[in-house]
Chains A and B, each alone.
Chain A
Amino acid sequence: MPTITLRVNRKNHTVECANSSLLVDVLREQLRLTGTHVGCDTSQCGACTVHVDGHSVKSCTMLAVEAQDAEITTIEGLADGNTLHPMQAAFQECHGLQCGFCTSGMVMSTTELVSRNPDPSEPEIRHWLEGNLCRCTGYHNIVRAVQTCARGSRGGTP
């Protein structure tokens, strides 16, 4: 099996993996970064969303070998030490998670939204979440969390 180097959460990792290995499987099984989840097998649910060079990517749609030379961030790499990222804090503040399984994908996806669009409207948020399924929250509090984080990032009271 080829050996590749992946840069994940600001650290280099050298792993052996098949050419056919999905990024998500290498993250979970070899790097033991199990905060990235697998909720489907058709790239619909978004539970496996990570950042690749700052863009949210479903890590089940990318081969590990494709991710060489990229800067990968998983949910484990988002917080600043013990301080939650503002999106993580907003999800807690707004009760934007219940079982927690879709949460890492939701947080990784919406952080990119807010970095692109600091003032997303409710329809923009809902449209952006097209690729992320949640079965617990009805999305209501996820939308509120994104609005809250965005408000905070614009300098308002989060």
Chain B
Amino acid sequence: MSSAQGIGASIKRKEDRRFLLGKGQYTDDITLPDQSYAVLIRSPYAAALIKKIDAAAALAAPGVLAVLTGDDVAADGLGGIPCGWAVKNKDGSNMVEPPHPGLAHGKARHVGDPVAMVVASSKALAKAAAKLVDIDYDVLPGCGRLPEATAEGAPLVWDQAPGNVCFDWHIGDAALTDAAFAKAAHVVELDLVNNRVAPNAMEPRAANGHYAAANDHYTLYTTSQNPHLTRLLLAAFTLHVSEHKLRVIAPDVGGGFGSKIFHYAEELLVLWASRRVGRPVKWTADRSEAFISDAHGRDHISKAQLAMDKDGKFLGLRVHTLANMGAYLSTFAPAVPTYLYATLLSGPYDFPAIYAEVKAIFTNTVAVDAYRGAGRPEATYLLERLVEKAARETGIDRVELRRRNLIQPSQFPYQTQVALQYDIGDYQATLDLALAKIDYAGYAQRHAASAANGKLRGIGMSTYIEACGIAPSALVGALGARAGLYEAANVRIHPTGSVTVFTGTHSHGQGHETTFAQLIADRLGVSTDNVEIVHGDTDRIPFGMGTYGSRSASVGGSAIVKALDKIVDKGKKIAAHLLEASVADIEFRDGAYRVVGTDRQKAFGEVAFAAYVPHNYPIDTVEPGLEESAFYDPKNFTFPGGTHFVEVEIDPETGVVEVVDVAIADDVGVIINPMIVDGQAHGGLAQGIGQALYEEVQYDADGQLSNGSYMTYCMPRAADLPMFKVGNHVTACTHNPLGVKGVGEVGAIGVPPAVINAVLDALAPLGVKDISMPATPEKVWRAIAAAKQGKGA
């Protein structure tokens, strides 16, 4: 049944109808009987002592049920928000892991740090009462950016972190890398900033907590990418209520991009407040609140050096990176600039030596954690800017230089110098496909046409790799993860042959309700109309680790396939009995069990029915029913890769950069639904182009946020983007049963350096050598102006 609905079919999405009719159910859409509403009062200061909170006037205001503070959190014994990944320093000692109470206690450490919570019978009353809470702050000096936080004598975010250093970590072989640089014919050096961005899922975060005293049971509706992880952290660390008394539901979730992975304080606070006030408590972020309370992404400052021989062969790479952690350690924050960044620094290239140092720094800003790509865009940006600079400095053509250094298909499995072992890929094939899609040969003509119109045209590229499907539990455990990263699935065949699949992954736009149904159609021959995929509810699904890092198909899909294998095997025993044949002679194909070499067969539906109505049944050896669960622990990361090309036109009078063409060729492994895969690439590209040209969270030196709304933070809009040319070349992943790799992040990873390389290509004739992201009209205009004055840039 692979053709019409199975693997490889672009069937339309099953989930679309409810969204198109306005019948989706997002967290804020859910209003419970006797609902009350919470508003958080957040610190307006980057660093301040909280001297006194006077809630008397607020408590006397109409409809107010409670005003809760850090003192109440402490008095009730709530646990701090934990960090899920512990990174070691170079000397083997532990990173600095400061406390993170649900409400700031004694000191606020960033703009947006929650200081008090007002609960009232309506949102309007809660908002009005929040204005009556009188908080006496003693404002302290803060540091909002990496240069200030690492300067001599910088104010300390945490007294226990001298120099604001969270950890000082390294990977690779320093001596081997030094030796490689000693014999280099050419060394290329580059200083880079990877700009801080806000994830900006269109649905702001929300949480609705309900404590039922009758059975001492808690229910949380939350905008989460991984409800089971949230439940685990609530149970073990923050609320201290064990799992059997705690249900976490992540209903329809309006995008995540990483920002909804993490366990946030509000999830704890609404459950706790519900217990205290005896009513369900709902909190929903405003967009401006999201800017100061959602974890941000990126925010690196790096120095990179590339050693090459006389022919342009890469000999070694040396990288030093400062990574901003914010004021508190978010759930996966320490893993992002280490095991998801520095381990990717080999890119798709054959590097004999690499050494990278990463220093993670506390600042008085909201936390920085995984955002679409999480570490891999930072690695790709560094490497591809560096390779482009190498091409320019050596005069070797940009495509040729990459070709000389790409890992060859014959080299797989390829062991990098930074821990990862790539199982398979064909980087030349994706490069060739991308060259064709952009019409590289025709570029000179397009450049001339732009010039005739008074525009500066540039072309830029990147060849990239990423690591998805995180990851073997034993491996991540050895690297400091405090969780396993397997996935769970339960496949329930109903008596009439329809199927419900319970998956521990979570869909917040990715289309799992369709893609996973296609796996069932493919394996069992059941129409996708008769399959329902259930996700996002800890009471319905056995367990799960959720969706991030493009892991849903490779890890979650593999768990489903494992459960399906068990279903098929059990069905064989039932079919053998019904067909009076030996199990060894039964094969399952095209939705039917057949006796090999005969025309005798039983349809899957007949076998399912027999399992539930076991009148004629091998009851002594086979249990009735047809339902199987499986857990799948991945054997390795998967390694998508590819080539991205971008062409830009720049108006030299205004500095406006127009993206005129984007052509990409990715290898994301076996493709289940091409329509959905292309859509994932489109979205990633838009976010990557957004980072390259428009987006930047701007904190000042002291930690004040200057652009925390859509009035001032530039989101990419429809008119900013072209149609995207997307191609795929498939090499099947070697270690999971579907051969899939993952597509959720490739766009955001590959494209930012291609955009900036294109901008620099356009500006190169003027003598501009560097520009930072986002390449805004002002920056580009200034670079052009400076170049004209002969200063370079």
Question: CA of A123 to CA of B717 in the docked complex: distance in angstroms?
Answer: 12
Instruction: Given A92-B16, A129-B717, A138-B686, decide whether A102 and B202 contact each other with a Cβ distance below 8 A.
Output: yes
B396 contacts A by Cβ under 8 Å: no
The one of A91, A98, A143 in contact with B723, judged by C-beta atoms closer than 8 angstroms, is A143
Number of A-B contacts (CB under 8 A): 181
Stretch at the interface among B381-389, B503-511, B573-581: B503-511
Question: CA of A88 to CA of B513 in the docked complex: distance in angstroms?
Answer: 19
A13 contacts B by Cβ under 8 Å: no
Interface positions of B from 154 to 210, Cβ below 8 Å from A? 200-204
A41 touches B288 (CB 8 A): yes
In the complex formed, the residue of A with least CB distance to B510 is A98
Nearest CB of chain B from residue A108's CB, rounded to whole Å: 10
A99 touches B682 (CB 8 A): no
Stretch at the interface among A29-37, A51-59, A61-69, A149-157: A29-37
In the complex formed, the residue of B with least CB distance to A21 is B124
Nearest CB of chain B from residue A125's CB, rounded to whole Å: 7
B201 touches A135 (CB 8 A): yes
Instruction: Given A101-B255, A129-B717, A136-B509, decide whether A95 and B675 contact each other with a Cβ distance below 8 A.
Output: yes
A76 touches B683 (CB 8 A): no
Across the A-B interface, the 5 shortest Cβ-Cβ residue pairs? A35-B22, A101-B254, A100-B19, A99-B509, A138-B686
In the complex formed, the residue of B with least CB distance to A141 is B679
A76 touches B22 (CB 8 A): yes
User: Scoring A residues 23 to 44 as 1 if CB is less than 8 Å from chain B, else 0, what string do you get?
Assistant: 0000011001111111111101
B509 touches A44 (CB 8 A): no
A127 contacts B by Cβ under 8 Å: yes
Contacts of A70 in B (CB 8 A): none
Instruction: Given A75-B22, A76-B21, A91-B20, decide whether A133 and B710 contact each other with a Cβ distance below 8 A.
Output: yes
A3 contacts B by Cβ under 8 Å: no
Nearest CB of chain A from residue B35's CB, rounded to whole Å: 10
B240 contacts A by Cβ under 8 Å: no
B17 contacts A by Cβ under 8 Å: yes
A126 touches B719 (CB 8 A): yes
Instruction: Given A42-B709, A100-B15, A101-B254, decide whether A137 and B20 contact each other with a Cβ distance below 8 A.
Output: no
A-B contacts besides A75-B20, A100-B509, A133-B717, 8 pairs, CB < 8 Å: A37-B26, A45-B287, A88-B20, A95-B13, A122-B723, A129-B717, A133-B202, A139-B682
Contacts of A29 in B (CB 8 A): 31
B200 touches A135 (CB 8 A): yes
Question: CA of A138 to CA of B286 in the docked complex: distance in angstroms?
Answer: 23
Question: CA of A107 to CA of B17 in the docked complex: distance in angstroms?
Answer: 13
A47 contacts B by Cβ under 8 Å: yes
Contacts of B724 in A (CB 8 A): 138, 140
A92 touches B20 (CB 8 A): yes
Contacts of A103 in B (CB 8 A): 19-20
Contacts of A97 in B (CB 8 A): 16, 19-20
The one of B18, B511, B685, B715 in contact with A98, judged by C-beta atoms closer than 8 angstroms, is B511
Instruction: Given A91-B20, A103-B20, decide whether A137 and B683 contact each other with a Cβ distance below 8 A.
Output: yes
Question: CA of A102 to CA of B717 in the docked complex: distance in angstroms?
Answer: 13
In the complex formed, the residue of A with least CB distance to B10 is A95
A42 touches B721 (CB 8 A): no
In the complex formed, the residue of B with least CB distance to A36 is B22
B686 touches A84 (CB 8 A): no
Contacts of B715 in A (CB 8 A): 44, 133, 135
Question: CA of A103 to CA of B510 in the docked complex: distance in angstroms?
Answer: 15
Question: CA of A122 to CA of B204 in the docked complex: distance in angstroms?
Answer: 30
The one of B124, B200, B252, B721 in contact with A139, judged by C-beta atoms closer than 8 angstroms, is B721
Question: CA of A56 to CA of B24 in the docked complex: distance in angstroms?
Answer: 21
A44 touches B201 (CB 8 A): no
Contacts of B286 in A (CB 8 A): 40-41
